[in-house]
Amino acid sequence: MSLAEIKLLLSVHFGEDVVLGEETGGLQPALLIEPAHIANVCFFLRDHPLTYFDFLSCLTGVHHEKENRFEVVYHLASIPYQTQLTLKINTEKPVNESVLPSFPTLYHVYRTADWHEREAYDLIGINFEGHPDLRRILLPDDWEGFPLRKDYKSAEYYKGIKID
Amino acid sequence: MVNEAFLKYQQRIQNLSAEEMVLNMGPQHPSTHGVLRLELITDGEIVNEVIPHMGYLHRCFDKHAESMSYQQTIPFTDRLDYLSSMNNNHAFVMGVERMLGIDQEIPKRVEYIRVLVCELNRIGSHLIALGTYGIDIGAFTPFLWCFRDREHIMGLLEWASGARMLYNYIWVGGLFYDLPVGFEERCAEFVDYFKPKMVELNELLTNNQVFVNRTANVGILPLDVAINYGCSGPMLRGSGLKWDLRRVDGYSVYPELDFEIPVGKGEMGTKGDCWDRFKVRIDEIGESLKIIEQCVKRLQKELKRSPDFDPRGKLPRKIIPKAQDYYMRAENPKGELGFYFIADGKTEIPKRIKARGPSFNNLSVLPAICKGVMIADLVATIGSVDIVLGEVDR
């Protein structure tokens, strides 16, 4: 199915306001999805006989510092149809620094999202609502800050030891 | 700053029932193949729960990549899956070339050399997987045999690139150097030498009754679970699905080459067990040998070396892709290696690169398939997943 057909399929099933737009400039076109519906959209695309996007290849958290927003990019693949699809969801950076930007989890749709969401939480500081085990995965559990954010400043001390 | 989920996890460990015991396997345990720590909650010999802890080898690949140009990042990709550096280079370079729009202009000889060295490296990576798996199960000899044969591959790749493990050989738009004179002939010799060795290895290990008893019907991974957890490579094919990105995406010159995709059939036990995954790797070595033979033939005949051939001829002076994002996936020995690039279109430095390592996803299925198994079977299952911690931790 082409991107336009998928877009049509989604707007027929969920209504017009689920697909916020599309990016067709690059080599891989992408659909922008309303963040609150992302889990339902993926669930629908996974099980629909015309799409069968049953494989989540990659989940990436991105910090756009200039636009002051956070983005999560999903790369889906369909094994029966041998097609690929990119979905993106965006949110503004919360005004309060201690509040993490938050998206719904895909844990219950693709189990791949389990560790990938933990990684996005660990390095970018994105909260995934409904994830049952959102611990840090690569960094120590008591690490301060989120290193892949563009405004991250590396710490001067780690547990009282000066870092040169 | 620890979060709620961490406190919940701590509670789980502290409130064990009277029969349960926590057993830490790793990070220095030989059968975890690197610095992986598995926290096992056991009841006698039975494993009730597996909690993997990673990050001991975290080297901030993503963060490093955000501060240097694409060409400078290639040596870092070597260190992701350090047993198959050529394949990592190839995947990364193809992604950048497609973003630049020069992927159709690469000379055929360069493409064939790339495939040739990648397949050599694939055999080397599988040999380690097979050999160390033998050790996990308790067979020492196959390990020595595999390393002996891998040494020939290392010698060949060292001859071409100058390094034994971390090659940095495939560059954006070309290669570091052309193959040394006589390389093709030596490759052909190696294939002739290596084919009977695989027969020996099969007699020694694959069809060995002790080995079959330890691996058949152990660590069964059903196909739907494998897909849902994002497993790829021999893990997915071991569960019976013909899914190989070399065929699906048909990148580089793979569509011109003739090879089969081996899948697990459950010959010794159930489909998707440890033996099937092992067998898929054995068969893949045979297919890689076929590819190498075809490449060598082509490189000796129609794509012969000539004095005016320059593998660096197409190298772009400045690598500045247009503003876009691109997800490149390629078939590594371990599975689907993906690179997600975001280019801003102004500088040589990417805005974001994420590496999706196959081992990372393959390992994530371990807690699901190891509930209620014996500890010895857990060791057999980890070995059959074939993880490289350089890629899990990145």
- ipTM of this model? 0.90
B384 domain residue, yes or no: no
Give the contacts of B198 (CB within 8 A, at least 6 positions apart). B282, B285, B286
> Of B62, B98, B338, which is closest to A123 when you measure between CB atoms?
B62
What is the distance in angstroms between the Cα of A146 and the nearest Cα belonging to chain B? 11
pTM of the model: 0.91
Q: Which residues, in sequence order, are bridge partners of residue A92?
A: A69
B171 domain residue, yes or no: yes
Domain that holds residue B241: 61-368
Which of B6, B236, B327, B394 to mutate to probe the A interface, most A CBs <10 Å? B327
pLDDT at residue B1 in the model: 56
B278 domain residue, yes or no: yes
Q: Which two tokens stand for residue A53?
A: 């996007």
Interface contact A60-B338, CB threshold 8 A: no
Q: Per-residue confidence of chain B (394 residues) as pLDDT tens digits? A: 568 888 888 888 888 888 888 988 878 887 777 888 999 999 989 998 999 998 888 988 888 888 898 888 999 999 888 999 999 999 999 999 998 888 888 888 889 999 999 999 999 999 999 999 988 888 889 999 999 999 999 999 999 988 888 998 998 888 888 888 889 899 999 999 999 999 999 988 888 888 899 898 888 899 999 999 989 999 999 998 999 999 888 888 999 899 999 998 888 888 889 999 999 999 999 999 999 999 999 888 888 888 888 878 778 888 888 888 899 999 999 999 999 999 888 888 898 899 998 999 999 999 999 888 998 889 889 988 888 888 888 8
Cα separation of A12 and A70, whole Å? Answer: 28
CATH number at residue B223: 1.10.645.10
The one-letter amino acid code at B388 reads V
Which of A115, A121, A152 to mutate to probe the B interface, most B CBs <10 Å? A115
Q: How many domains does chain B have?
A: 1
The one-letter amino acid code at B251 reads Y
B387 domain residue, yes or no: no
B105 domain residue, yes or no: yes
Contact between residue A86 and residue B327 where contact means Cβ atoms under 8 Å apart: yes
B186 domain residue, yes or no: yes
B338 domain residue, yes or no: yes
| Residue B148: DSSP 8-state | H
Domains and CATH numbers, chain A: 3-149 (3.30.460.80)
B375 domain residue, yes or no: no
Helix, strand, or coil (residue B378): helix
Cα separation of A150 and A61, whole Å? Answer: 12
Interface contact B340-A115, CB threshold 8 A: no
SS3 letters for A123-158?
HCCCEEECCCCCCCCCCCCCCCCCCCCCCCCCCCEE
Chain A contact set for B255 (CB, 8 A)? none
Cα separation of B256 and A69, whole Å? Answer: 45
CB pairs under 8 A between A and B: 98
